[in-house]
């Protein structure tokens, strides 16, 4: 499989009720690649500064991730982000964002990155997402993430790129904001009408929903008793989804396949949040992921009684 992801590579300082870590390796493309590399080769595209260490690059290369498209800007600084979570781990406060080299980022993909089967456009300026799409040679499947900042400030550009991708993968609040529709089902329908063949709404602790012309699928998050750091949950979920899709080269990418992909994304994201930063993703094995996918399958089944049984 070949999978290209464009997005941030960062240093993160994160505080949660369970502790604090400074300048951990993070960024959307990092979490995504650590998740997607469970399924095959990933190429992250993103900039780093002269402060980016060789040891961080080695971590990014976990499970064979190819770093040829990581753009080094020796006299610049790597993107820095600081955030704090309260007891409600679904909400966080961003304390600091220093764009550094990410501010002047102009993605230039290598020939190998352009040749990908699956392309994930991480949360960057929509015109840059368009430029990455222009550079790629007709990937089999494309998905896009964004955030409220781009929805507010560059909605028209964002809609233009949404029109060109197969899947929109956003938080449910972002989907409502983008469409102005309070009902998630109606909001997702509106996005489908723009062009994509699927919408995946992330709902944090409550799971994720898939809406496509074939129907509706809802999956809870994996039930965890301990969540230590939710950072990167969305990006590792996206990495799991896209990694699974990219690995299924012979199959049609339909509602059923995307539902299974969501189960893999959910399982990987559940491991991610059990420890700080990327720690758990780095040493995560596929057998552990598969066991949680099996458990998710088990907990989402129920018996539909016949009418006779119900009214007896």
Which is nearest to 10 in space by CA: 70, 61, 65, 62?
Answer: 70
Q: Within 179-208, which residues bind ligand AMP (CB under 6 A)?
A: none
Alpha carbon 241 to its chain centroid, in Å, reads 8
Rg (CA), the chain: 19
Told to check if 234 binds ligand AMP by CB under 6 A, we report: yes
Judged by beta carbon, residue 253 or residue 267, the one nearer ligand AMP is 267
Least distance in Å: CB of 236 to ligand AMP?
7
Judged by beta carbon, residue 97 or residue 110, the one nearer ligand AMP is 97
Given 1, 3, 6, 10, the residue binding ligand AMP (CB under 6 A) = 10
Contacting residues for 250 by C-beta, under 8 A, at least 6 apart? none
Which of the ranges 15-23, 174-182, 227-235, 281-289 carries the binding residues for ligand AMP, by CB under 6 A?
Answer: 227-235
Cα(277)–Cα(109) distance, integer angstroms: 27
Cα(201)–Cα(129) distance, integer angstroms: 20
Tokens 């102009």 sit on residue: 106
Q: Within 111-150, which residues bind ligand AMP (CB under 6 A)?
A: 123
Give the count of residues interacting with ligand AMP (CB under 6 A): 14
Told to check if 228 binds ligand AMP by CB under 6 A, we report: no
State how far the alpha carbon of 79 is from the alpha carbons of 43, 73, 86, 194, in Å: 19, 12, 24, 32
Judged by beta carbon, residue 29 or residue 253, the one nearer ligand AMP is 29
Told to check if 26 binds ligand AMP by CB under 6 A, we report: yes
Which residues contact ligand AMP by CB under 6 A? 8, 10, 12, 26-28, 81, 97, 123, 231-235
């Amino acid at each position: 499989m070949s999978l290209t992801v464009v997005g941030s590579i960062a240093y993160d300082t994160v505080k949660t009720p369970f502790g604090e870590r400074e300048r951990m390796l993070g960024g959307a493309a990092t979490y995504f690649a650590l998740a997607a590399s469970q399924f095959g080769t990933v190429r992250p595209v993103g900039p780093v500064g002269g402060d980016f260490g060789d040891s961080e690059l080695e971590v990014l290369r976990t499970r064979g991730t190819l770093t040829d498209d990581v753009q080094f800007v020796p006299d610049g600084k790597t993107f820095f982000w600081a955030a704090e979570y309260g007891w409600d781990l679904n909400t966080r406060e961003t304390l600091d964002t220093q764009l550094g080299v990410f501010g002047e980022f102009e993605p230039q993909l290598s020939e190998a990155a352009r040749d990908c089967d699956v392309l994930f456009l991480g949360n960057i300026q929509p015109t840059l997402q368009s430029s990455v799409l222009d550079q790629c040679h007709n990937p089999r499947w494309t998905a896009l993430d964004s955030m409220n900042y781009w929805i507010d400030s560059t909605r028209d550009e964002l809609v233009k790129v949404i029109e060109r991708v197969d899947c929109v993968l956003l938080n449910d609040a972002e989907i409502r904001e983008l469409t102005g529709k309070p009902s998630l089902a109606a909001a997702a329908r509106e996005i489908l009408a723009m062009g994509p063949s699927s919408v995946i709404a992330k709902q944090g602790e409550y799971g994720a929903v898939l809406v496509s012309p074939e129907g509706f699928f809802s999956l809870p998050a994996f039930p965890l008793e301990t969540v230590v750091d939710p950072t990167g949950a969305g990006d590792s979920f996206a990495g799991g989804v896209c990694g699974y899709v990219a690995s299924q080269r012979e199959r049609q990418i339909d509602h059923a396949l995307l539902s299974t992909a969501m189960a893999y994304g959910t399982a990987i994201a559940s491991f991610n949040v059990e420890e700080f930063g990327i720690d758990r993703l780095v040493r995560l094995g596929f057998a552990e992921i598969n066991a949680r996918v099996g458990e998710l399958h088990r907990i989402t089944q129920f018996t539909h009684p016949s009418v006779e049984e119900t009214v007896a």
